[in-house]
Amino acid sequence: MKNMGDLQKMAREMQANMAKAQEELAAATVEGSAGGGAVVVVLSGTQDVKSIKIQKDAVDPDDVETLQDLVLAAFSDALKKSRDLAAQRLGGVTGGLKIPSHRRALEATRCRPQDRAAARLSHPADADAGR
């Protein structure tokens, strides 16, 4: 068994690695598309929308619903890819340890400090811990 100093050192290293992974996620981008590229959504690894591109031929004033469906599908595709990227990058940092919610780590990269406390309090795992 490791002594307390070794455990603290491991925790500091894991925290530094997590911070680095979060910075990399914020800089990384993923692309989701629909309609054969008629609509393309670019998200960061922290799920921030970076751009939306819509080809002219995808815009039909008489069929707005199809464009809405394409935008939704492209966004969903990009969001899935961004979440997969986050799970891959943050999962590697924890070395397979089951640390509560990578979602919280992502929120920490996007939120102001005062919002982080509210996010932690609203997480279902925290509600269970308070019982």
Per-residue pLDDT of the chain (131 residues; tens, 9 = 90+): 568 888 888 888 888 888 888 899 999 999 999 999 999 999 999 999 999 999 999 999 999 999 999 999 999 999 999 999 988 888 777 665 555 555 555 555 554 444 444 444 444 444 444 43
In a domain, 19, yes or no: yes
Residue 14: what pLDDT? Answer: 86
The number of folded domains in the chain is 1
In a domain, 10, yes or no: yes
Residue 50 DSSP one-character state: E
Residue 57 DSSP one-character state: G
What does the block give as tokens for 67? Answer: 């464009």
Q: Residue 57's domain is classified under what CATH number?
A: 3.30.1310.10
Residue 22: which residues within 8 A CB-CB, separation 6 or more? 46, 90, 105, 106, 108, 109
Could you identify the residue written with the tokens 């925790």?
A: 11
In a domain, 110, yes or no: no
In a domain, 55, yes or no: yes
In a domain, 125, yes or no: no
Q: Where are the alpha helices (DSSP H) in 1-131?
A: 4-27, 64-94, 102-110, 113-122, 124-129
Residue 33 and residue 95 in contact, taking contact as beta carbons nearer than 8 Å: no
In a domain, 29, yes or no: yes
What is the domain extent for residue 55? 6-98
In a domain, 51, yes or no: yes
Which residues are bridge partners to 91 per DSSP? Answer: none
Angle at 110 between CA 91 and CA 29, to 5 degrees: 65
